Chains A and B, each alone.
Chain A
Amino acid sequence: MRTRLLWIFVASLLAFPLFAGDFVVKAVKGSVEVRKGVMEEWRKVKVGDLLKPEDSMRTGPGASATIEADKRKLTVPEMTILDISDVRQLTQEDFLLKLAMQNILAVPPRERDELSIPSATVIHGDNASKTNVPVFTDTKVGEMELHGARVLFDNSYYATSILKSKETLRTHPELKANFDARLTVATAFEKMKLTKEAVTEYSLLAKENLPSAQAKKVQGALDRLKQGN
């Protein structure tokens, strides 16, 4: 009896590596890859693989995957990049702080009396012999990330959906014309009952040259929010 209890105890210890926040891959269809933490390369994923919060998942054309953790189930459709760390709920306070983090992370302006570290560089001005290489931004990556933000929204992870969308639009400014993504952000604010932020997003959208259906949707939302105040 004592030996059996000991084995049960040992087995449960072995099961412990499944930390809270870890997802298990339940189903895979097509090309589904994972990028571990801060690594550069993507690796194929299979059913049963463990996905940690620092991992990212990518699905190819026609692919999909289902992941599960703590009774939370999520289906990732094709052409999507999803950060596992985004599959979580944030408190409103943490969300607003993360939203403001852009300003917190910004390099602060130098104060008048502040000591400056002298720069010893001898490179004065531009290196005229050098030229910038053309950079071709992979819009597809940005679009896949926005799909990931949509997945979060559809699964009620509104806060992380907003954060992901905003971050993607910062690094892929060419996607600012993706009004669906921006509408998702505004709607997510509305779902979180952050009316002021939602009005701001809708108002910014209203200034754009939207197709009529979207313009109507935006105006309707604005009227609804203003009436609600």
Chain B
Amino acid sequence: MFPTKQRSFRLRRAFILFQFVTVTAFGQHLTSARGSALGAFTALSDDIASIDWNPAGLVSIRDWDLTASSYAAFRRDVPLTGISLYSAATAKRFLDAHVVAAAYSPGMNLVFDVPSTVTFPDNSTKYLYDERITYREMYALGYGYQITPTVGLGVSARYREQLVSDTKFLTENGIPGRIVTVDYAASAWNIDVGLNWKPEGDWSFGAVAKNLFRLTESELPETVVNWGLRNVKSLRVGAAYRATPTTTVAFDFDTQAQGGVGSEWLLGERWALRQGVLFGGTSTQFFAGLSGGVGFSYGPAKINLSYVHFLDRRSQPTVQEFIDRGVQDLGYNAFTPSQITLSAIISLGRTRDVWAKIEYVQILSEVYPSSYQALANRPLGKAKVKNISSRPILAKVSFFVEQYMDGPTETPRAEYIEPNGEKEIFLYAIFNDAIKFVPSMVLRAAEVFVKASPAEDYDDKSQTRLIIRGRNDWDGDALSLRYFVTPADADIMRFTRLVMSQNKDTMAAAPKQLEKFRSARLLFDEFASRLTYVNDPKLSKDRVQFPSETLALRGGDCDDMTVCFSSLLSSVGINTAFIDVVPPQRLDDAHIFMMFDTEVPASQSTLVSDNPKRYVIRKNERGEETVWVPVETTAITEGFQKAWEVGAKEYFDDVEVGLGVVRGWVKLVDLMLQ
């Protein structure tokens, strides 16, 4: 309604009081409840709030972080409107060293009103404001990069909007006519750059250059530029020191001569108490405020509560005060009220530090099912592990092949690795029974994990290729041939017990010293009567039959027969040894036969034979010398006597005359009985 002629229109603009319309302003570097409780967070910032506080702190995010926060402010002259959601943000680590973050803060909204003093003569109309100044910072992006394990770099960009609504009164012939509102808007991206450094030890340092760059989209016109945000470049530095495992103190200071000092005490694994002191800046006294807070964490979730109480009177400013001080940070400025902040963070995915990385995996050999048990103690491969942290670690690797293992096999001992150091760690494998039934060669994907203490989850995982040979394949090493010997096999047991039973009278008549010798002779004669020599099929790898297979097939070559006869003797408690002959430069003439321990003392060797060339004297583990008898297991056509003769001659020629054992081309492999 317009004033009438009878009334005088007065415009008064004298003493203007600002008032906050909405008190949803949120301190820019009071966004983190943990940070605002401490009062000094530049060196310690390690969550999404780092976008505002120190973007270098984003590098502490392990995988995914989600956060939401709200706050409530207290002013004497402003009623509390309640707590509402202020901001939601997310951050993600990728490619090991990079983190990106984004925040949406609909509540980051600061509004100042220059009250209107215009009254109409009839007091009918009064408008709320002459100018309404709105500052918003609703969007922010952040990026962090882990330069080294101890140094991080961060950049954040905050989208700042300014809106000035100017109420104008249009007069006609000196009489106020219409009221129009003219809006002026400006926006820009303000860029902050931060750095943090956490050397080994208890210190950490941070620095952030605020408003270092500005990408302007639009500016306020001259007429209202006084109401605009101050874009002052400043540098804030901070340091933190872990005085004890549960106590940390922090300190911040910036080029605006404001800062804070705070401390954090950890109570157990979940709780933390914090307190801080804010000083300097635009406060009218040295100590600007006191802060305190509490934090609770459970698994990946953290909740923090803080209260900041400003000591100076934060009453509504005058126009001149506003123009003199201005607003640089939307949250922490001369007009920021005391406030309670509540924030919640949840970390998803990997939630702990990664300390180790697998550089490469090398598999040393194929897997032969017959000797799979040996791989529990003999390395199958090795992984090169690098310590990517700034501290020494103890690392273990695990190896797993699906279907053939019940679970990963971990190395028995952890390896110590210096920071940035590398070490090759051997891989071992405990296979399950499924591997015994692999009919032919297969290729499988195997996984290798590395775990650095005191982590509970693995730090890194790598996949490699593993070749598992068929159950009858043999790598040609006499040591591996031992694993084909099966004295407890049902068919072997049946065979030996039947022979012993059928010849019990012969055994009864044998002198005690010659029991084992006679047993071996009987078993060989029966063995020879049932089997015949057969060559292996032409394959890329040597093939060995298990003893039960040799008995069932009634034939085999030298390794099949040797393994089978050794199993027969072992099943009746007779120690045996393979004699592996690989003549130099005549690899195709490689041959294997065996000998057994008669347990006849060397001093009674004539009980076995008068000819010393027919036996070998060997010292056992107890230091006793006993008589061993060589046997050529493929000489089965004429029984034990012939096989013994042939075996003894082979041994004499290869070992005594040819010096094969001392020169290394004859190997003796003992089958240890339990």
Contacts and interface: CB of A to CB of B under 8 A. Distances in A.
B671 interface: yes
A6 interface: no
B602 A94 contact: no
B603 A38 contact: no
Contacts of A40: 609-611, 614
Contacts of B604: 135, 137
B661 interface: yes
Give the secondary structure class of A's interface.
loop
A171 B612 contact: yes
Nearest to A35: B611
B515 A127 contact: yes
Contacts of B659: 94, 97-98
B81 interface: no
Interface in B548-595: 570-573, 575, 577
Contacts of A121: 571-573
A108 B619 CA distance: 9
Contacts of A118: 487-488, 673-674
A208 interface: no
Contacts of B493: 120
A37 B652 contact: yes
A105 interface: yes
Contacts of A133: 511-513, 607
The interface centre, meaning the residue of A56, A110, A114, A115 with most chain B CB atoms within 10 A of its CB, is A115
Interface string B642-668: 000100110011001101011100001
A54 B482 contact: no
Contact of A120 (B570, B617, B618, B652): B570
A53 interface: yes
A14 interface: no
B662 A117 contact: no
A1 interface: no
Nearest to B604: A135
B488 A137 contact: no
B373 interface: yes
Interface string B511-525: 111010000000000
Interface residues of A, number: 47
Contacts, number: 138
A170 interface: yes
Interface string B175-195: 000000000000000000000
Interface in B454-505: 482-483, 485, 487-488, 492-493
B621 interface: yes
Contact of B657 (A39, A53, A107, A127): A53
B657 A115 contact: no
Contacts of A137: 603-604, 606
B619 A85 contact: no
B613 A38 contact: yes
A116 interface: yes
B82 to A, nearest CB: 70
A100 B619 CA distance: 13
B512 A132 contact: yes
Contact of A171 (B373, B511, B617, B673): B617
A39 to B, nearest CB: 7
A102 interface: yes
B374 interface: yes
Contact of B645 (A35, A38, A105, A130): A38
A116 B673 CA distance: 6
B661 A131 contact: no
Nearest to B619: A106
Nearest to B612: A171
B672 interface: yes
B674 A117 contact: yes
Contacts of B572: 120-121, 123
B6 interface: no
B424 interface: no
Given A85-B656, A85-B657, A118-B487, A132 B662 contact: no
Given A38-B614, A54-B649, A120 B607 contact: no
A70 interface: no
A105 B661 contact: yes
Interface in A166-206: 167, 170-173
Contact of B618 (A38, A107, A114, A123): A107
A105 B660 CA distance: 12
Nearest to B656: A85
A97 B662 CA distance: 6
B379 to A, nearest CB: 12
A132 B511 contact: yes
A108 B661 contact: no
A115 B430 CA distance: 13
B184 to A, nearest CB: 83
Interface in A204-220: none
Contacts of A116: 672-674
Given A40-B611, A97-B659, A133-B512, A105 B648 contact: no
Contacts of A135: 513, 603-604, 606-607
Contacts of A102: 619
Given A116-B673, A130-B512, A105 B616 contact: yes
A63 to B, nearest CB: 19
A128 to B, nearest CB: 10
A116 B609 CA distance: 31
Contacts of A105: 616-619, 661, 668
A135 B601 CA distance: 11
B620 interface: yes
A101 interface: yes
A109 interface: yes
A157 B410 CA distance: 58
Contact of A117 (B487, B603, B616, B652): B487
B196 interface: no
Contact of B611 (A39, A103, A138, A172): A39
B670 interface: yes
Contact of B673 (A54, A108, A119, A172): A119
B649 A37 contact: yes
A45 interface: no
Contacts of A110: 621, 672
B377 interface: yes
Contacts of A131: 512
A69 interface: no
A79 B12 CA distance: 148
Nearest to B623: A106
B605 interface: yes
Interface of A: 35, 37-40, 53-54, 56, 85, 94, 97-98, 100-110, 113-121, 123, 127, 130-133, 135, 137-138, 141, 167, 170-173
26 contacts: A37-B613, A38-B611, A38-B614, A53-B657, A54-B613, A54-B649, A54-B653, A56-B611, A97-B663, A98-B659, A101-B662, A107-B575, A115-B374, A115-B483, A118-B673, A119-B487, A120-B493, A123-B573, A127-B512, A133-B511, A135-B603, A135-B606, A137-B603, A138-B606, A170-B617, A171-B617
Given A94-B659, A105-B661, A138-B606, 16 more contacts: A38-B614, A40-B611, A40-B614, A54-B652, A101-B661, A103-B619, A107-B577, A116-B673, A117-B485, A120-B492, A130-B512, A133-B511, A135-B603, A170-B602, A170-B617, A171-B605
- The 5 A-B residue pairs with the shortest CB-CB distance, nearest first, are A121-B573, A97-B662, A130-B512, A133-B511, A106-B619
